[in-house]
Chain A
């Protein structure tokens, strides 16, 4: 799986959009971009994933650049409960599911009141 680079930490004001960048310059054509987050003392929570096109769900939007070398996770209206470590992961969908996800250290997002 390709390696990802994320900032160690970020701050965002409550109610504003939080934009979390991820660099994955060595991504290959069949690798998806996944985002998870982990709130303190809980297990990771799946947020969203995509291959080429931008994706949106009830939690967030995922913007993938045209060359797929970077992406941005957008939390449109951040709340204090969005304070967490956010992990960007790229992986091949192997169909059989045998590949474990490779988590880095992620970005610690702190939402300020």
Chain B
């Protein structure tokens, strides 16, 4: 297992288009998190899954954002009708069950909305 994988690494899209990102966590990790990071800021929490259940969503996750983890393995984050303010790095992290160990983050997807 090579860690948390995110695809694509970079995405440029026109304002108003929909985009979807994928995250493949470490296989035995049942907890999965999505974060967003803008330039010069620390990552901001978006949402959390335990297995296939989405248990927490930040107020940052507007109605245009939706995340799924259909079989408790990989996850997708979709942004509809993208806006320039959505330009950011989108990070995925996973964590093993029943532990307070640190998260393992992926390298992120850099979204640029033009």
Measured CB to CB, the residues of A under 8 A from B are 32, 34, 36, 41-49, 85, 87, 93, 95-106
Measured CB to CB, the residues of B under 8 A from A are 4, 31, 33, 35, 40-46, 48, 50, 55-56, 58, 91, 93, 95, 98, 100-108
Alpha-carbon distance between A45 and B40 when the two chains are bound, in angstroms: 17
Residues of A within 8 A of B31 (CB): 97
| Contact A103/B43 with A43-B91, A43-B108 known, Cβ cut-off 8 Å | yes
- What residue in chain B is nearest A87 (Cβ atoms)? B42
A34 with B105: CB separation less than 8 A: no
17 contacts between A and B (CB under 8 A): A36-B102, A41-B107, A43-B4, A43-B105, A44-B103, A46-B101, A47-B102, A49-B101, A96-B55, A97-B31, A97-B48, A98-B50, A98-B56, A99-B56, A103-B42, A103-B43, A105-B42
Instruction: Sort A-B residue pairs by CB-CB distance and give the 7 closest, nearest first.
Output: A46-B102, A100-B45, A103-B42, A43-B105, A93-B100, A97-B31, A103-B43
A106 with B102: CB separation less than 8 A: no
B107 with A96: CB separation less than 8 A: no
Residues of A within 8 A of B106 (CB): 43
Q: A46's contact among B33, B48, B58, B103, by CB below 8 Å, is which?
A: B103
Q: Distance (Å) between the CB of B23 and the closest chain A CB? A: 11
Alpha-carbon distance between A101 and B100 when the two chains are bound, in angstroms: 12
Q: A97's contact among B35, B42, B95, by CB below 8 Å, is which?
A: B95
- What residue in chain A is nearest B41 (Cβ atoms)? A105
Alpha-carbon distance between A46 and B45 when the two chains are bound, in angstroms: 16
Residues of B within 8 A of A96 (CB): 50, 55
A34 with B50: CB separation less than 8 A: no
Alpha-carbon distance between A47 and B105 when the two chains are bound, in angstroms: 12
Residues of B within 8 A of A98 (CB): 48, 50, 55-56
Q: B107's contact among A43, A95, A99, by CB below 8 Å, is which?
A: A43
Alpha-carbon distance between A24 and B50 when the two chains are bound, in angstroms: 29
Q: Distance (Å) between the CB of B66 and the closest chain A CB? A: 17
Q: Distance (Å) between the CB of B92 and the closest chain A CB? A: 8
Q: Distance (Å) between the CB of A34 and the closest chain B CB? A: 6
